[in-house]
Structure 1
Amino acid sequence: MTRYRNAALFLALAAVWGSAFVAISAGLRHFPPVLFAAFRYDVAGVLMLVYAVYAVDRWRPRGHNEWGIVLVGSVLLIAAYHAFLFVGQQNTTAAAAAVLVSLSPVLTTGFARALMPSDALSVVGVVGVLLGVVGVAIIAQPDPANLFTTDVVAKLLVFCAAASFALGSVLTRRIDADLPIETMEAWSMLGGAAIMHVVSLALREPIEPSAWTHPEALGSLAYLAIVASAVGFLLYFDLLERLGAVEINMVSYVAPIFTALVGWLYLGEIVDAATLVGFGFIAVGFLLVKRRAIRDEFVHLDRWRTSE
């Protein structure tokens, strides 16, 4: 029963996070991008902080290291990631954005090896990272004669979002602090939202008053803040403890399937061949980069099943 429960929760998380990209595209019809992202984490941050107060012993960071993790999370995992993603997704499809974001686990390994020279990537690992980058190039389809078309720039911004998240993931793990992940996420969400509000003010993003009465605008904001962020991260915390980091990373490769399906049903978006081929390159790159961890995970599962 536990195995079926984990599989159901895994699919639920992939569906929630995959459909979130569609909710972003829908909400961008009504809200300016950076302010939209800030509103999302105003709500999600408060909900996550309430949960942290309820669920963990230490709901507030202490000391320089713990606040350092929150700072990195605020700047890279929340503010930079979502600002790049929301701005980029104004001019690309939800499915393409989801596929590009799925590069994050590959980039995370690349950043980890770059920041820790003693643990360098093997030749196969380097090939995996390069395949992921090739996948991005296939999806972006840059024209050498005109590299700054709206579509290419949009996809490069989403790539920057994936890179920001990957770098933030590595830096938070390098800081020596024993901060509950729920507490770190809550304060990072609130800090990231504050940063995005400042950026939005600097950009002088306009917002139409009608957005606050439009069902699609309010529905997309509520879905992103409550379902994709608050509920999604609770599912993530539960599965991370049960499955481990390797298996939970596979969510990034199942979520785009739900993005493509919901995007087609709700937005009428069609997934082009370049996006599918690029996704294949990124997925193969992930398998090469994580091949040892995946192999060890299968060995562990086989032993666990045998012992039952």
Structure 2
Amino acid sequence: MRPRHLALAVGLAAVWGFNFVVMEVGLRHFPPLLYAALRFALAAFPALLFVGRPGVPWRWVAGVAAAVGVGQFGFLLIGMRAGMPPGLASLVLQAQSLFTVVFAVTLLGERLTGRRITGLTLALGGLVLVAVDFGASGPFGAFMLCVAAAASWSVGTIMQRRAAPPDSLRFMVWVSALSTPPLFLLSFAVEGVPVLSAPLEGWLSLGYVAFISTLGGFGVWGWLLHRYDASVVAPYTLLIPVFGISSAALFVGEPIGWVKAGAAVLIVCGVLYAGTRPRSAPSPAPSPALAGRSSR
């Protein structure tokens, strides 16, 4: 990867990691489902007026909207509102890689190698460590909501992989548009009549997550995937919890203890080990005698 593209990939991880702190700020002024609905509404409009059709069957757009827009962000924001700290939420959400592998094996028939089993066992150990530590000091239900968000994200990843949209930014605009109505309906049913009298801080938070994190972030993500293999780009998402935990410690005072640090190492290393392929050893050069025989 070229140096400026490498900087772009790291910068994207920083934007998505800091996103958890920004969402924490937004949840001070909006209920979670309304916040998610407004996020996707802003990401979809007016961009929807300038992009073409998604380029894939509508069932895939609707499926990803249900899994990611409604499921992932609905569970995540409700979990954060229920007490899940932003840095820890960014770490637990990496469990989506574990769920993605499991779903890919069971639903797509992909092969589960010994390397993947080892990596996923490490990641699962880190997740259990987080659960035990947070369950002793915080609401366990909030932790499980973030795990549900990770599972929903993995379902959306599987569906997006099957859909293979030609333009990820255009696809994300349509996913945002289809996520908006059910989120507004759920917000009205669960949270009551929406109140939009938030201070400037709340609207700035929405602007960041809608335009910078969603549209800008997925635009950069798609741009990188068009130039490099997914196996080259995807590992940089493992930097998201690094930026998420550090920014949460810096801006909202979330403590970083040894348990959280150990869990982060297990999850990141496990996912990285499971998601990369070992380099194959170069085949030995034929001996001069064999080379001579093959030329005859």
The TM-score with structure 1 as length reference comes to: 0.82
Residues 1:179 and 1:209: Cα distance change in structure 2 (over 3 Å): closer
- Percent identity, aligned pairs only, is 28
2:282 aligned with 1:285: no
Check whether the contact 2:22–2:208 (CA below 8 A) recurs between aligned residues: yes
Kept in 2: contact 1:105–1:249 (CA 8 A): no
The answer on whether the counterparts of 2:173 and 2:215 sit within 8 Å (CA) in structure 1 is no
1:183 aligns with 2:170: yes
- Measure how far apart 1:46 and its partner are: 2.1
1:60 counterpart residue number = 53
Q: Cα distance, 1:142 vs. partner?
A: 6.5
Kindly tell me: are residues 253 and 88 of structure 1, through their superposed partners in 2, closer, same or farther at Cα, counting changes over 3 Å? same
AA of the residue aligned to 2:142: A
> In the TM superposition, what whole-angstrom CA distance separates every residue of 1:133-191 from its partner, at most 9, and x where no partner exists?
22211112179xxx79852211111111111111111123234x765333321111111
Who is 1:82 aligned against? 73
Structure 2 CA distance for aligned equivalents of residues 107 and 47 of structure 1: 34
| Matching residue of 1:105 | 97
Q: CA RMSD in A?
A: 2.5
More helix by share: 1
| CA distance in 2 between partners of 1:261 and 1:179 (Å) | 35
Query: Quick one: distance in 1 between partners of 2:245 and 2:138?
Result: 21
Question: Contact between 2:188 and 2:194, CA under 8 Å: does it hold in 1?
Answer: no
Q: Of 148, 154, 157, which aligns to 1:160?
A: 148
Instruction: Output one character per residue of 1:113-137: Cα deviation in whole Å (capped at 9) or x when no partner.
Output: 11133x3302331232232222211
- Residue segments in structure 2 that go unaligned for 5+ positions in a row: 283-296
> Match for 2:190 among 190, 203, 211?
203
The CA deviation at 1:98 is 0.6
Q: The residue matched to 2:254 in structure 1 has which SS? A: coil
Q: Deviations over 1:208-252 (max 9, x none)?
A: 5541xx122111111111111111111111111223212322232
The higher radius of gyration belongs to 2
**Residue type matched to 1:199 in 2?**
L
Go from structure 1 to structure 2 and tell me whether the alpha carbon gap of 1:180 and 1:197 turns closer, same or farther (over 3 Å shift): same
| C-alpha spacing 1:232/1:174, structure 2 compared with 1 (3 Å) | closer
How far apart are 1:288 and its partner, in Å? 2.8
Scaled by the length of structure 2, what TM-score is found? 0.86
Q: 1:47 to 1:107 in 2, by over 3 A?
A: farther
SS in structure 2 opposite 1:289? helix
Distance 1:18 1:229 in 2: 13
Give the corresponding residue for 1:27: 26
Q: Shift in Å at residue 84 of structure 1?
A: 0.7
3-state SS in 2 of match to 1:141: helix
Q: Distance in 1 between matches of 2:11 and 2:98?
A: 23
1:11 correspondence with 2:10: yes
* Structure 2 contact 67–152 (Cα < 8 Å) conserved: yes
- Superposition deviation, residue 197 in structure 1: 1.1
Aligned counterparts of 1:70 and 1:241: Cα–Cα separation in 2: 20
Work out whether residues 132 and 281 of structure 1, in 8 Å CA contact, stay in contact via their aligned partners in 2.
Answer: yes
Q: SS in structure 2 opposite 1:234?
A: helix
Cα distance change, pair 10–187 in 1 and its aligned pair in 2 (3 A): same
Counting only pairs closer than 5 Å after superposition, residues 108-119 of structure 1 correspond to structure 2 as 108-117=100-109, 119=110
Could you tell me whether the CA contact under 8 Å between 1:81 and 1:162 is conserved in 2?
yes
